[in-house]
Amino acid sequence: MYAVDLNALYLEHNEALTRYLTRLTGDRDGAADAAQEAYSRLLSHPPARDDNLRAWLFTVATNVVRDGWKKQQTALRLVQNQDGVPSPATPADPHDNVERLERLQAVREVLDRLSARDKTVLLMREEGFSHKEIAAAIDTTTKSVGTMIARALRKFAKELEAAGTLT
């Protein structure tokens, strides 16, 4: 059994992990919570091998986010009298450029419309994970990851174009 050096892991990976989770959820606080939960699980239920703890952390944190989404969807179904989904957007700074804010909002919306799996694939790729590591995280074959990435990229570009934010 190996010893988990949580401090070293945190220093080495936390910034990338938090960035990934923030992009995945659009919620910085939620990202920090999910990261915290992943570290906690690392201590309580460490993987059998320590040869790729980075990928393990990202995968576990992704699962934490997914579990949270499932709970949110259940809660939303229970609150039938609500109109629409509460927006996580923060109030706009009046000094900010309106066009830029609109573009950012469109990017966020398009990102959120991607399936959880597509989003995970693209964001893990963005963090430099190999197709093999991505495949392990979403429980699919390595060969199919390229196809999933291509399809998700096409969808993202098409929807962003449809949102009118591309010149």
- Write out the residues near another protein by the rule CB under 8 A: 8, 11-16, 18-19, 22-23, 28, 103-104, 107-108, 111, 122-123, 125-128, 130-131, 143-151, 153-154, 156-157, 160, 166
Calpha distance 20→24 (Å, rounded)? 6
Q: In the complex with another protein, which residue's Cβ is closer, 22 or 120?
A: 22
Residue 20 or residue 60: which is nearer to another protein going by CB? Answer: 20
- Distance CA(103)–CA(164), nearest Å, equals 9
Q: How far is the CB of 6 from another protein (least distance, A)?
A: 13
The amino acid at residue 3 is: A
Q: Least CB distance from residue 63 to another protein, whole Å?
A: 20
In terms of CB distance, is 18 or 63 closer to another protein?
Answer: 18
Specify burial of residue 58 (Cβ count, 10 A radius: 0-12, 13-18, 19+). buried
Least CB distance from residue 155 to another protein, whole Å? 9
Report the candidate in 61, 74, 67 with the shortest Cα–Cα distance to residue 123. Answer: 61
Comparison of 70 and 113: residue with beta carbon closer to another protein: 113
Shortest distance, position 71 Cβ to another protein, whole Å = 24
Q: What is the DSSP string of 52-113?
A: THHHHHHHHHHHHHHHHHHHHHHHHHH-TT--SPPP-PPPPPTTS-HHHHHHHHHHHHHHHH
Give least dist CB 13 to another protein, A: 8
Return the number of the residue (74 or 97) whose C-beta is nearest another protein.
97
Q: Which two tokens stand for residue 49?
A: 């091998």
